[in-house]
A and B are shown apart, each in its own frame.
Chain A
Amino acid sequence: MTLRYLIEKEFKQIKRNTFMPRLIILMPLVAMIIFPYAANFDVKNINLSIVDHDKSSFSQTLVQKIQSSGYFRISDVSGNYNEAMESIEADESDVILEIPLNFERSLVKEQKADLMISANAVNGNKGGLGSSYLFNIINDFNEEIRVKYLKMVDKVSIPAMELVPLYRYNPTLKYEVFMVPALLVMVLAMIVGFLPALNIVAEKQSGTIEQMNVTPVKKYIFILSKLIPYWVIGYVVLTISMGVALFYWGLKPSGSLLTIYLFASLFIVAFSGFGLVISNYATTVQQAILMMFFFMLTFIFMSGLYTPVENMPAWAQMISNISPLKYIMSVFRLVYLKGSSFSELHKPFLALLTFATVFYTWAILSYKKTG
């Protein structure tokens, strides 16, 4: 009964705050439309600078082959390596391909030739992928030449095989398919993380917590009354975000909605519980925001939002294990894209359940009624 009144109070506070309801509705709408545009790590249209000293039919065939691959855009054709370097320094090109003089002649006569790829690797992703795309194109080209010339001299002893890549679940490798389910989690986490983190500390600053402390309300009831509204808010935010994902990005979960909401519930309890813990320890709003900001960034970065967790060093993987975001993000991606069902998701379920219990208990324990 007490719980009902307390929850009513929380909702009134949220409703009568002019800012809060707008934030809850607008933030997911705006964020889910804009974030996926920004969070795009596609490596396409790599700007290639070509230094062709050879100007032979081979070098031209190679350049055409590169052009038709669709990954590269020839940004300039430089006379020498230094000019090409300048275009890299001016950020006009990303990769240089240098074809030496007598490339064709030495390949035909001496049966070997050199090429040089130099990639700007400040952005590791682009440099790495760009140079390996180019490398593979050159390999293909090499294979073609080899087949052509070996056939001519009638020596068919090449171990030939066809390599067929197939990208399952996302055949055209669209980035938003990867990001949208994870961004759903990010938006949800921001709302159900920041709002509770500000909640109790705001009551401390305005002094209303004193009144709460002198009531006979049990601590666990009090914390529960703080948690339940965020549960509701979390559902609202999640539903709006999923609506945007469906209607704007055309992405609907291939797994069941029930699984999504079940995991979301656990995550909301865990994460808003964590927000309340911060709120209990902080003495000013400013501290609460800074602390939450720090944890939020850490959790988001360590959760595999855009680099797979398994690529991280071992200690970073350990840290990522204590981030609830890691589990919920992988669950959302699995359910949304691969249609995984509950039976494949035992591990994250147990992890999130543990987080929910630990943070809820911690929030109760860290709430002190004495001043």
Chain B
Amino acid sequence: MRKFLVFTQKEFYHIFRDHWTMIILLVLPILMILFFGFGITTEINNARFAVYDPSNDMATQKIIDKIQTSEYFTLEAYLNNPAEIETIFQKGEISMLMVFSEGFYENMVHTGDAQILFIADGTDPNTASTLVSYASRLIAAFQQEEMGAAGTPPYQIHTEVRLLYNPTLKGAYSTVPGVMGLILMLICAMMTAVSIAKEKELGTMEVILVSPMPPLMIIISKMIPYFVVSIINYLTILVLAVYVLDVPIVGSFFLLTMLSLLFIFVSLALGLLISSLLETQIAALLGSVMGLMLPTVLLSGLMFPIENMPIFLQVLAQMVPATWFISAVKSVMIMGLGVKSILTELAVLGAMAVVLIAVSLKKFKTRLE
């Protein structure tokens, strides 16, 4: 046992004495959670729009005023002739243009032919449709006000919209679980893989392997420091999420922690597997970037919704451990569901852990002989 502790201590020294690596390991998660949490937002505010209004009457003024004063829109410019439309879009200055038909008020009251054309910058599809839908909603409100000037509007359906779990549509609610998955994967898998590959490359692995320690112990002692660092990161992320980003832990903290521990085991095992397959540091690094980071970033649902992917990518996504982890964290942390709802995720992660550890231990032993 003492020998084992000495080995673990040695691994800790490796991390502590490399200041840069240590800073990156501890600070990277903090910066990532802050940037992603605050920077990625699906809320729309202050979208810039322009108006082309040949009628310029009471009704159009009221509508423009209503849209301009909402929190979603900022009026950028009035266009004087239609020729300016192309340039203002090409400069990238506005996301939407409203064009009123001529004689708007007259037509609105009498013939019902009044028309508003929303020309949205379709290059960004979601923003475009959100803007159009917000603007339509504001105009619907305007119509109701006009009608209701005499009292409540007739035949009114009142629709109550409830946004469950995330009433203010904060992006952080979906980025926090994602970043957790990414960081734990990065620290555990990549760092373990690299640190073992480094010893092989430098030749110090030979020295360690001829020591009387059983190989399994050597490996465990290599993993412990990264395990500890991941726990620290896990706690940092949660503290930041709760106190800085205002993302509450709705479900059970215990369950969340158990889930994360399981995921950390899977990641460590993956790192071990990579290092037993690859010999040099660069190969281990590139191998983990290509084989772990990219799939995690692209396919786990951290950035992109899995359901929109073509089938073959969806199948690939099922093989990425972070996919299961992130989905389970969302259920527990954000939606506050119990263990019953994440049984599938737990089972898959557990199976992955067992298989990965078995395979990598087998691989590792053959190398020794």
Contact = CB atoms under 8 A, between A and B. Distances in A.
Contact of A35 (B169, B173, B298): B298
A242 B229 CA distance: 42
A210 interface: no
Contacts of A19: 286
A135 B173 contact: no
B157 A115 contact: yes
Q: In which size bucket is the chain B interface?
A: 35 or more
A308 to B, nearest CB: 6
B289 A289 contact: yes
A288 to B, nearest CB: 10
A269 interface: no
A302 B154 CA distance: 47
Contact of A310 (B47, B165, B298, B299): B47
B2 interface: no
B282 A285 contact: yes
B313 A135 contact: no
A290 B24 contact: yes
B170 A115 contact: no
Interface stretch (A6-14, A218-226, A330-338, A360-368): A330-338
Interface residues of A, number: 105
A308 B293 contact: no
Contacts of A138: 157, 159
A150 B154 contact: yes
B160 A88 contact: no
A142 interface: yes
A148 to B, nearest CB: 9
A161 B115 contact: yes
Interface in A136-171: 136, 138-139, 141-142, 145-146, 149-150, 157-171
B233 interface: no
A367 to B, nearest CB: 18
Contacts of B159: 114-117, 135, 138-139
A110 to B, nearest CB: 10
A115 B31 CA distance: 43
Contacts of A112: 152, 155-158
A290 B130 contact: no
B81 interface: no
A139 B87 contact: no
Given A120-B165, A164-B117, A306-B303, A113 B157 contact: yes
Contacts of B112: 158, 160-161
A261 interface: no
Contact of B155 (A37, A45, A146, A301): A146
A232 interface: no
A88 B140 CA distance: 29
Interface string B109-148: 1001111111111111111111011101101100100110
A119 B28 contact: no
A337 B165 contact: no
B39 interface: yes
B255 to A, nearest CB: 15
**In the complex, which of the residues B89, B140, B155, B194 has the most CB atoms of chain A within 10 Å of its own CB atom?**
B155
Contact of B164 (A120, A132, A142): A120
A158 B152 contact: no
A307 B125 contact: no
A272 B293 CA distance: 21
Nearest to B162: A118
Contacts of B309: 37-38, 40
Interface in A1-54: 19, 34-35, 37-43, 45
A121 B173 contact: yes
B57 to A, nearest CB: 13
A184 interface: no
A214 interface: no
B40 A127 contact: no
Contacts of B166: 121-122, 124, 127
A139 B341 contact: no
A40 B305 contact: yes
A307 B303 CA distance: 11
Nearest to B126: A41
**In the complex, which of the residues B35, B39, B133, B143 has the most CB atoms of chain A within 10 Å of its own CB atom?**
B39
19 contacts: A37-B313, A113-B157, A115-B160, A117-B159, A117-B160, A121-B166, A122-B334, A132-B134, A158-B112, A161-B108, A163-B115, A170-B128, A287-B18, A297-B297, A298-B31, A306-B303, A330-B92, A334-B92, A338-B89
Interface of B: 18, 20-21, 24, 28, 31-32, 35-36, 38-48, 59, 87, 89-92, 95, 104, 107-109, 112-130, 132-134, 136-137, 139-140, 143, 146-147, 152-167, 169-171, 173-174, 186, 194, 198, 281-282, 285-286, 289, 293, 297-299, 303-305, 307-310, 313, 327, 330-331, 334-335, 337, 341
Query: 9 shortest A-B CB distances, which residue pairs?
Result: A167-B122, A170-B122, A160-B112, A121-B166, A173-B125, A121-B163, A124-B169, A161-B114, A124-B42
Interface of A: 19, 34-35, 37-43, 45, 88-91, 107, 111-129, 131-133, 135-136, 138-139, 141-142, 145-146, 149-150, 157-171, 173-175, 177-178, 198, 202, 282-287, 289-291, 293-294, 297-298, 301-302, 306-308, 310-313, 315-316, 319-320, 330, 333-334, 337-341, 344
